[in-house]
Structure formats: C-alpha cells, structure tokens
Amino acid sequence: MNRRGLLAAACGTAVALTISTALPAMADTTGPALLPGGVEGAAEGINDAGTTVGWTAANSGPVRATLWDVHGTAKPLPGLVAGEYTHAAAINDAGVIAGTAEAANIDNHAVRWSANGSITELDVLPGASYFQGRAINNSNVVVGSAYVGTEGFVSHALRWAADGSVTDLGVPTGYWSSEADAVSDDGTVVGSAWDENYKKKHAIRWNTNGTVTDLGTAPGAVTSWAAGIGADGTIVGTSQSADRKNYATRWNTDGTITVLPTLPGGDNSGAEAINRDGVAVGFANAAGTPSHGVQWGRDGQVVDLGVNPADGDAIANAISPSGWVAGNSHRPNDYRPLAVRWPAPAGR
C-alpha cells in the first residue's frame, strides 16, 4: 500500500531485511536477507506497521511467499501444497495478504493469508487456469487475473469478494485480454487491457457502478498500464512511447494526465504505487545511470530514495500510508533481484 514525504530515506540507503535467528544462519550484511539458501527475492507489498511481503527463492527450490516483520525478521508463508510455489503480492493494514499458490492440480490459484498466517484458497472460474492474486484493499477484496477459455493466453481481470467468491471483470470493448493490478478501498479496480496483437495496451479503470473507463496514455505515448490507485481516485502507472521509452504517469481525478519527472537528465521512469496522501513510488534514472527507487510528492517533485552501496539499481514497488517503501534491487551484472525496504520518515 502507500506513503508521504520520504526525505529521510532519500538521504540514506535502503534498509537491509535481516534473517530471523530462529532460522538457519544465512545473513547478507551488505543487502537484504533471503530465506535460508535463498539467492534472490523481492518485496512487493507493505503496510502501515512496516510488515513487508514478497517472495524469495533458492538455487534449487521454488519461489516462496515471504513475510518480513518491522524488524526485518523473515518467515515463509504456508502454501496449498507443501514445498510448492507461493508468491505474496500485497498486504493491507490489518495484515491480510493476497497472492498466489500452486494448487493440488499443479495450477496456480489466488489465495489470501490471514494476519495469523493461515491460507485460504479463493474461488476459481470454471475452465480458467493460472489464477493470480495481485492486490488487496482494507475490506479484504482481492483483484488479479486468470487465463480463460480455449483461445490460448487470453487473460481476464478478476475480483474476489471478502467471502472468496470471484467475479470476472471481463475485457473492455475493442480489447482481447485484461488484468487487474490494484483496488482502492471503495472497490474501484485498475489495471490494463490489450489487443490480440499486443499493438494496443491501455490503462483501464473498472468503476464501482459497473462501467469501464479506458484511461488512455500520456501525450505522445502509444501504450500504458495502471499499477496503483489512491484514496481519492488518483491513478499511477506507466506510459510507453513507440521507441519503448517509459514515462511514469499519473491520471488525475479531474481527467488530466501528468507525466512525472525522472531524475536529472534521465529518460526512463515508471510509477508502481500510490498512498492515501497521494505520494507515488516507482523507478527513474538520471543521465547515464541505472534506475533508482524514487518517490513523487503530490506536487510531482521527484526524490531519489537511493540504493544499497553494493547494488547497481533499485525499484520501489509499494508504499504504506505512513511512508514505508518496499522494493527490490540488483547487484551489478546480476539479473537476480534482492528484497529491500526503505523506512518511513521520522515522526510518522
């Protein structure tokens, strides 16, 4: 979830997530911690308590949903099938988590973990497969997607109610597939839809009255996708030009579109989440440098959140109401991500 002014973190580096002493010893003092034997991971959701969720993986094991408490102590979340794939994507302020887990039929199903860590399998659509839970609001509504029908990789955006029942949000007219990536507390859903040839992809909003809005792109762009929605309905995501340059984009409640700035001299950015105060996070580069995790205030000003000294780049994936930020970084010349967390500003 979300955030406000992270100036304190901008002056420092990302906080390392350290391994619980109850687990076999495996601490990385220069970067974030992974589960025992783990070599990669990412932090994808964070709430106001600083509780962080995401995934970690070992060289010879599956991806495992992981929770880090406010102190950085890590623990795995249970799956539907012992030892198989799990992935935590988001957490709400009550500590309820949304994500995905491999089911007994070797398909992935959307799941919800309670605050005490117990797992619930959410309903499936008949004939659909590869369900993913991507976001959750404070009413425990989960959104995501699944492949439907027999026409190949046709994806539909889905919404699961608090009781676990599923609704197919469908595909807007003129598109072939859709996915849902964020849901506000009032139930508004945002994501994207694309045509069969992947030549047209636009950010989409599913409104609470049942209508669907094509949000379009930033001026001059040809593609867009929405990744987060704030309490007032402000939406953030990314637009892409024909030459595949990415631009962090904010769809304002008055219908206007704002391209958020990069770091000085940069040419690549994307927004991944927004909090209730209207502060967005994502990534941006400066001239000739890799991307860093960044935040944009309501006024659109960009702040560099920094990276760990040993890391080459970083991205901010989520922000809490008080300003905790979760994300991932990469070591130079290593494609594997590492989970990172930036603390909330002092006094929040």
Tally of domains in the chain = 1
Query: Is residue 70 domain-resident?
Result: yes
CA distance 245 to 269: 8
Q: Are 17 and 308 in contact (CB under 8 A)?
A: no
From first to last of its 348 residues, the chain has per-residue pLDDT tens of 433 222 223 333 343 343 222 222 222 222 333 444 468 999 999 999 999 999 999 877 789 999 999 888 889 999 998 878 999 999 999 999 999 999 988 899 999 999 999 999 999 999 899 999 999 999 999 999 999 976 668 999 999 999 999 999 999 999 999 999 999 999 999 999 999 887 899 999 999 999 999 999 999 999 999 999 999 999 999 999 999 999 999 999 999 999 999 999 999 999 999 999 999 999 999 998 899 999 999 999 999 998 877 778 999 999 999 999 999 998 888 888 989 998 877 545
Per-residue pLDDT tens for 209-242? 999 999 999 999 999 999 999 999 999 999 999 9
Structural domain for 270, as ranges: 7-342
Query: Is residue 2 domain-resident?
Result: no
- Here the CATH number for the domain that contains residue 250 is 2.130.10.150
Q: Which backbone phi and psi does 101 adopt, to 5 degrees?
A: -145, 145
Query: Is residue 297 domain-resident?
Result: yes
Per-residue pLDDT tens for 131-163? 999 999 999 999 999 999 766 689 999 999 999
Query: Six-digit token pair at 95?
Result: 């500590």
Q: Which residue has the tokens 């797992």?
A: 119
pTM to 2 decimal places: 0.89
Query: Is residue 1 domain-resident?
Result: no
